[in-house]
Homo-oligomer: A and B are copies of this chain.
Amino acid sequence: MTMVRPIPSLPQLHVDLDALLENFRWFERQAPNSAISCALKANAYGLGIKKVAPALQAAGCDIFFVAHICEGEELREILGKNPIIYVLHGLLTHEAETLLNHDLRPVLNTHQQMDVWRKQGKGQPAALHIDTGINRLGIAFDELETINSSDLNLCLIMSHLACAAEPAHPLNAQQLQRFTKVIQHFPGIAASFCNSAGTLLGSEYQFDLARIGIGLFGTLALEAELGTPTMTPVARLLAPIVQLKTLHKGQQVGYGATFEADRTMQVAVLAYGYADGLPRTIGPDTKGWFKGASVPLLGRVSMDLIVVDLSQLDQQPQVGEHIEFMGHDLEPFADSCGAEPYEILTSISPRVQRIYQGEAA
């Protein structure tokens, strides 16, 4: 276990790698007939690919997805030569060589990308992405008959769900129906359809390979009324108190003086602002936590600071102690900011010190 010395005045992100692996194994149980791959784009959803990827590799994951070629290069360097790494954005002209040099497999999203890889890919494997309804990346389903896959070493056929977080959305069944036709068109090639939430839609959605992203980090970001499966929280943000102060009735807080105290209040100034990833869109229900008690936020979020209300605490914290965010509270926290857990995690800035915990750390 590597010890990192926490910097007392910086916000810290505590990443529990044991919890990460519990979630990975949760998906192994959820989709027992599928291989589980991990989508670690955007620096492993902000949690830090240098630690997250090796932990997953050690737990048995040997297929990874990233968005960009440069993310693939970094991941190859981290993981060594064995794992399969797919690049979701595929390739532009002149990028085949970089893919080949790092043994990265492009996800081919267009006829043009197929042509480039046919000419420059030296017969190396690639995935093919058919767009069954999200209308983002991938060759449109209605062009299925026009696809020329000759002279391509296709090892995976994939598509991506648009509405997996809304199980009742009719587009799910429609995409499944289309994808079933797609794979009939490519017999004998492995198929991948599910993201994290997709694995809950039923075994008929699961196919050969699931691509798990947000679920690894403790949430499925499902529609609120669906509740949350028993995922394990992975990330806790600890914001240090840099100043305590007493606010008197009538005093205002922060830029624009948008909060005004209606009584004497004990408050704390935290070194945690939007440049660290705290959304400026906090709402009346956004809160942090101190020893199990909630701590509301006051006024506007500054770049490097936020003021919180300590009135509800029995035990007053000291300067240098931390107010906690996210953790078990990730989904309500995101919701209170009008945000999704995804962006809460990916927005945690490089200034926040990552501290890894657990056996795998």
Contacts and interface: CB of A to CB of B under 8 A. Distances in A.
A305 B135 contact: no
A133 to B, nearest CB: 7
Contact of A8 (B10, B92, B349): B92
Q: For A41, A163, A274, A303, which residue has the most chain B Cβ atoms within 10 angstroms?
A: A303
A89 B304 CA distance: 9
B163 A351 contact: no
A160 B82 CA distance: 55
Interface string A90-114: 1111110000000000000110100
Query: In the complex, which of the residues A133, A256, A340 has the most CB atoms of chain B within 10 Å of its own CB atom?
Result: A256
Taken together, the copies of this chain in the complex come to 2
Given A169-B257, A240-B92, A280-B340, A305 B137 contact: yes
Nearest to A8: B92
Contacts of A46: 275
Contacts of A58: none
Contacts of A140: 245-246
A253 to B, nearest CB: 5
Contacts of A61: none
A280 B342 CA distance: 10
B252 A136 contact: no
Interface stretch (A28-36, A65-73, A201-209, A224-232): A65-73
Contacts of A71: 351
A311 interface: no
A262 interface: no
Given A43-B351, A137-B305, A89 B9 contact: yes
A136 B307 contact: yes
A259 to B, nearest CB: 9
A251 interface: yes
A351 B42 contact: yes
A84 interface: no
Give the interface SS of chain A, mostly helix, strand, loop or mixed: loop
Nearest to A350: B350
Given A42-B351, A304-B67, A255 B134 contact: yes
Given A69-B9, A95-B9, A252-B171, A257 B163 contact: yes
Contacts of A317: none
Given A10-B68, A67-B304, A137-B269, A42 B275 contact: yes
Given A140-B245, A162-B255, 16 more contacts: A7-B70, A9-B89, A9-B95, A43-B350, A43-B351, A67-B271, A68-B304, A93-B320, A134-B255, A136-B254, A136-B305, A136-B307, A163-B257, A165-B256, A280-B343, A303-B342
10 contacts: A8-B93, A46-B275, A71-B351, A89-B271, A134-B252, A135-B252, A135-B254, A137-B242, A162-B252, A303-B346
Interface of A: 7-10, 41-43, 45-46, 67-71, 88-95, 109-110, 112, 131, 133-137, 140, 162-163, 165-166, 169, 171, 240, 242-243, 245-247, 251-257, 267, 269, 271, 274-275, 280-281, 299, 302-305, 307, 319-320, 338-340, 342-343, 346-347, 349-351
